Amino acid sequence: MKAVIMAGGKGTRIASITKDEIPKPMLTIGDKTILEHQIDCLKKSKIDEIIIVIGHLGEKIKAYFNDGSKFGIKITYFEEDPNKPLGTAGSLYYLKEKIAEDFILVFGDVFFSVDFNKMIEFHKHNNSAATLLTHPNSHPYDSDLVVVDENNVIKCFDSKENVRNYDYKNLVNSGIYIFSPKVFDYVTDPKKYGLEKDVIAKMIENGDKVLSYHSTEYVKDMGTPERYYSVNADYANGICEKRNLSYKQKAIFLDRDGTINALIPFLVHKEDLQLIEGASEAIRLINSSEYLCIVVTNQPIIARGESTIENLDEIHKRMETLLGKDGAYIDGLYYCPHHPDKGYAGEVPELKINCDCRKPKTGMLIQAAKDYNIDLSESIMIGDTTLDIKMAENAGMKSILVLTGEAGKDQKYEIHPSVIADDLLDAVNIIFNNKRRGR
């Protein structure tokens, strides 16, 4: 499979670092340029040829990488006229004769550590015309968001220019794609095109299968000095590589009600959801670590007929919106909609079962481990009920009981938590050996 790296932009937002002397993909992270890191990552997934689209100061990229032989890969170039930029997709018009099969496309100012084998498998298994690597980020409020259905089909983009007086799922286009040759049908003239607006959005409108590949891997754009320095720090701390899904992951699993948000029994109205003080700060700490942040929650309101799945989704959008405004995000969310006891008005009979996912059973943990290659023995569960702690014990995990919400007073199970903490922030500070509040 071939890859295309878009490296022709001027990088005006990061000019204070490049000084307009080098193209931004030639900035270094550690001891290598961003482009070298990208090439190394692509090579690991058996990518054998790369086409680099160059423009402003592109001769410096060409002189450094040449034909790619010293980097163990074949590199060719398409050179844009710096005075006539083709946007983020216009160069595809000139590449269609060079690419006959599915290919990867990445932007040259994105630092990533991605197992492309998994993404390629997802793309091919679903016979997708286009697959976008998507993920949550710490600033969804000023990001273009991706709107997906329950089958990961992308329905539309939610522009950052929209007035967002509504709740949303924190899911962002990362700048990493796999396309089938179908994409060339949308770049029919030698002119400037925007990849998202003029190409992918049109593919969606025409009914082509465009899918979201949700990944927890390390992907950050380097468009601003702040983000560039942030990636350098993460790289120095070893976080970038550890997030690659080819390696076993570690996760901090969080209960929802009484741990992240204030406990309201059987919460059904999203307006009633309020974050517990310090919860956003705690999740930000997890986000900046090597741990994934994953929510696992029993939601019997579905089986009992007190809420629909659509309404529950709105509650979770509310939670993600509030966290996002505080610069925090969750990597994944799993819920159990079942309830074994019958006799509720409006109950859903097919969901009144003794399932494998309802806490303290471990079904949600096992599914998350499968989805994100998680080593449960290296992971931690934080919750406010004996169900949370018992589930962790059943999975062979460490656990922390927080004294918010139920504070373990439900007494449904005899438990032995690894640690007892005041609240979620206190629990996370214990994990990371930070100074604890009030201690």
Min mean pLDDT across 15-19, 37-41, 238-242, 408-412 is at: 15-19
pLDDT value of residue 439: 43
Strand pairing class (154-158; 74-79): unpaired
- Mean pLDDT, range 287-311, rounded to an integer: 97
Tell me the two tokens of residue 277.
């003080």
- Mean pLDDT, range 189-214, rounded to an integer: 97
Tell me the two tokens of residue 272.
């009633």
Does residue 70 contact residue 23 with C-beta atoms inside 8 Å?
no
- Does the pLDDT value for residue 27 go beyond 70? yes
The torsion angles phi and psi of 249, rounded to 5 degrees, stand at: -100, 160
| CA dist list (Å): 181 to 77, 184, 185 | 19, 6, 8
Strand pairing class (49-54; 2-7): parallel
Other residues' Cβ atoms within 10 Å of the Cβ of residue 262? 16
Does residue 249 contact residue 375 with C-beta atoms inside 8 Å?
yes
The segment(s) of the chain belonging to CATH 3.90.550.10 are 2-231
| Closest by CA position to 131, among listed 107, 104, 96 | 104
pLDDT value of residue 438: 47
pLDDT value of residue 343: 86
Torsion of CA 96, 97, 100, 102, to 10 degrees: -30
Query: What is the DSSP secondary-structure string of 362-390?
Result: -HHHHHHHHHHTB-GGG-EEEESSHHHHH
Tell me the two tokens of residue 196.
């998202």
Does residue 95 contact residue 78 with C-beta atoms inside 8 Å?
yes
Is residue 72 exposed (0-12), middle (13-18) or buried (19+ Cβ within 10 Å)? Answer: exposed
Q: Which fold has domain 248-431?
A: Rossmann fold (3.40.50)
pLDDT value of residue 437: 55
- Does the pLDDT value for residue 17 go beyond 70? yes
- Does the pLDDT value for residue 310 go beyond 50? yes
Catalytically annotated residues: 255, 257
pLDDT value of residue 143: 92
Other residues' Cβ atoms within 10 Å of the Cβ of residue 127? 9
**CA-to-CA distance for 21 and 86, rounded, in angstroms?**
22
Q: Would you give the DSSP letter of residue 272? A: G
Coil, helix or strand for 6?
strand
CATH number for the domain whose boundaries are 2-231: 3.90.550.10
Cα three-residue angle 96-26-287, rounded to 5 degrees? 95
- Does the pLDDT value for residue 359 go beyond 90? yes
- Mean pLDDT, range 277-283, rounded to an integer: 98
- Mean pLDDT, range 34-47, rounded to an integer: 95
Query: What is the DSSP secondary-structure string of 294-326?
Result: EEEEE-TTTTTTSS-HHHHHHHHHHHHHHHHHT
pLDDT value of residue 434: 72
pLDDT band at 340 (very low <50, low <70, confident <90, very high): very high
- Mean pLDDT, range 373-398, rounded to an integer: 98
Global pTM reads: 0.94
**CA-to-CA distance for 368 and 307, rounded, in angstroms?**
24
- Does the pLDDT value for residue 420 go beyond 50? yes
pLDDT value of residue 29: 95
**Mean of the per-residue pLDDT values of the chain:** 95
pLDDT tens readout for residues 252-272: 999 999 999 999 999 999 999
The segment(s) of the chain belonging to CATH 3.40.50.1000 are 248-431
pLDDT tens readout for residues 81-132: 988 889 999 999 999 999 999 999 999 999 999 999 999 999 999 999 999 9
HEC readout, 118-174: HHHHHHHHCCCCEEEEEECCCCHHHCCEEEECCCCEEEEEECCCCCCCCCCCCCEEE
